[in-house]
Amino acid sequence: MATHQAIRWQGDTGTYEVVWAAPHQRLRGQVLCYRGYRVEMTSGRTRLEVPDGAVSVLLGLGGNLRISSTARPDVAHLCTSPVVTGMRSCAWTASHSGRLYGIEVLMTPRAAYGVFGVPLGELTDRNVELGDLFGRGAMSLLERIAWEPTWSGRFRVLDRDLLQRMAAGRRWVPQVEWAWRVLRDSHGMVSTAGLAAEAGVSLRHLEGRFRQQVGLSPKTMARVLRLQRVLRLLDNGAPAGHAAAVSGYHDQSHMCREIKAMTGQTVGGFLVLRGSVRPEQSAADRVPRQVTSALLK
């Protein structure tokens, strides 16, 4: 386990600390990262989280987080105990009152399928109590993490727990494994019908397997992967027309419609949020080298 990056800031509005770490070598490629955070601000914050192709486990050690989908902003989940957020097809918001302390584990759907032992479609666009999946093991894990005085010690607790669960967990069927790699490596720029044909199964069969083992259909997964590619390009200053063309959109208008549908923001509005001069923006993204988040307020 090695630390990727640590950002610490102190100013008139409070303090925050964010630490990213890679998991144990045997978990890499499955568990994307551990993200520890400790925030003490004078006022609350709200973050926009966009679809990123990851499943998240939120292990709160202090403060409460309120999560809601942009599709149903009137329905909120107050995280007072460990929570799993499944694969997302639309954006969601996360708010806190100014004080927040905990760890987030971000993992691929392949890892999540092995760790949680349930069809991932049951978690899609939902927030599920970790206790419903791990039983008493959820609070035991949280207590062991809380006893550790350092981030490194907390991350080692996670390594041990996840290594054990993944060793005993479910595995993807070969067709899903292959189709996932093709989708990921092409950034979603493949025909799902062609994908099924090459896998030697019907599209309906592949869709059913994906919903069960990935959490999203191949078509929706492709949309998420294209979104991530185009947001990275736009965030790095690429012209909109070029970003649309190399990310598999028919044209710039198609790109704009997809970004609005999946993030709730216009292209310009999202980039303005990303360009916030507030120091916390530098620590906004939950996964290194991905565009996952923006500060709303």
Last residue of a domain, one of 147, 170, 193: 170
For 33, phi and psi rounded to 5 degrees? -175, 165
Asked if 165 and 181 sit in the same domain, the reply is no
> Is residue 112 over pLDDT 90?
yes
Asked if 162 and 190 sit in the same domain, the reply is no
Q: Any bridge partners for residue 7, and if so which?
A: 18
pLDDT band for position 257 (cuts 50, 70, 90): very high
Give pTM, 2 decimals: 0.92
> Is residue 214 over pLDDT 70?
yes
> Is residue 220 over pLDDT 70?
yes
Asked if 26 and 164 sit in the same domain, the reply is yes
Task: State the average pLDDT over residues 119-137.
Answer: 95
Task: State the average pLDDT over residues 133-159.
Answer: 96
Q: What is the pLDDT of residue 9?
A: 82
Helices 192-199 and 203-213: angle between axes, nearest 10 degrees: 90
Last residue of a domain, one of 170, 198, 223: 170
> Is residue 281 over pLDDT 70?
no
| Number of structural domains in the chain | 2
> What single letter denotes the amino acid at residue 139?
M
Asked if 137 and 9 sit in the same domain, the reply is yes
Last residue of a domain, one of 103, 136, 170: 170
Asked if 105 and 159 sit in the same domain, the reply is yes
pLDDT band for position 4 (cuts 50, 70, 90): low
Q: What is the pLDDT of residue 5?
A: 79
Residue 228 lies in a domain: yes
Half-sphere CA count of 285, side-chain side, radius 13 A: 17
Domain that residue 185 falls in: 174-264
Residue 253 · residue 240 · CB < 8 Å:
no
